[in-house]
Each structure stands twice: as C-alpha cells, then as structure tokens.
Amino acid sequence: MTFLIAVGISVGILAGLWAGVSVTYGLITFVGFLSWASFYAAGGKTKGLKDSLILNFSGVVWGFLIVQMAGIFGPVLGATIGLSVAVVIGAGAMCWQAHLPLLGFIPGAFIGCSAYFATNFDFKGTVIALIAGAVLGYISEQGGIRIHKVFGKK
C-alpha cells in the first residue's frame, strides 16, 4: 500500500466522522474542510498545522476588518465602491503580512477570510470550524503514516 492510499483511507474515515459530528453539533462543515485543505496545502506536518491555524485565523480577522471598513467607507463612497476599497486594503494586507515569516502562507489568510464571508460573518463559528479542520488534517496525516507503517510495502 502506498502512502497516498493510506492517507486516503485516514482522510476518508475522518471526513465522514467530521461530516456527522459537525452536523450533529451545529458546526460549519464546509469551513472545516477548507481548513483541512489549507493544512495539506501548507505542506502538512506540524508546520502545516501551525501555518493553517495562524493564517486561517488571520484571514478571519482581515475579513472582519474588511466588513468594518466597508461600513465606514460605504456612506462616503457608496456601498459598492466602499466595499471595493475595503477589499483592496484587506487583500493587499493579507499579502503584505507575508513579510513576517510567521504569516507567510498567503493562501491560508485568503481561506480564512473567504470562510468568514461565506458564513455570513459568523466569527466564532468560522474560527471553531477552522481549528477543527486543521487539527483533523494533522490527525489524518498521522493516521496515514501509521496505516502506511503497518500495511505499506516493506
């Protein structure tokens, strides 16, 4: 068995569990999957977990700030232009923060921001699901490693 098969088994089982648990407890299922993808996109392992947690949260904060800025700019510039200016600032900042090594995984910030917008600005629900997804990503990778050790080609 290859590692890809092993991790697929681990991800599949945990994804099914996440779908059931998240629906049962009112968590935002798709946001967990976004963060899970972020974990793997960041390279997995402990670094992928750290980068996903930090940058996904950063994106939620930027999303919140974009909404606040749009509320300030909208009455002056009009709703559409005010929102556009706020997005310009927020999107630019999500890129510029990558000058700091801790904030270097730009896609993670955009995933967090997008998740915040897609949940109709549910800050708490978004953050909880992002944390769950990143942790599930890490657990699924570790599960894949263990499955591969037992059933992999020797």
Which pLDDT score is estimated for 114?
Answer: 99
> Which has the closest alpha carbon to 72: 54, 59, 85?
85
- Region 50-78: mean pLDDT is 99
Over residues 107-140, the pLDDT tens digits come to 999 999 999 999 999 999 999 999 999 999 999 9
Residue 21 has pLDDT above 80, yes or no: yes
d(CA 74, CA 7) in angstroms, rounded, equals: 47
Contact 150, 49 (CB under 8 A): no
Banded pLDDT at 152 (limits 50, 70, 90) = confident
Domain range for residue 14? 3-151
pTM of the model: 0.95
Structural domains counted in the chain: 1
Which pLDDT score is estimated for 123?
Answer: 99
d(CA 127, CA 123) in angstroms, rounded, equals: 6
- Region 84-97: mean pLDDT is 99
d(CA 120, CA 138) in angstroms, rounded, equals: 27
Contact 56, 35 (CB under 8 A): yes
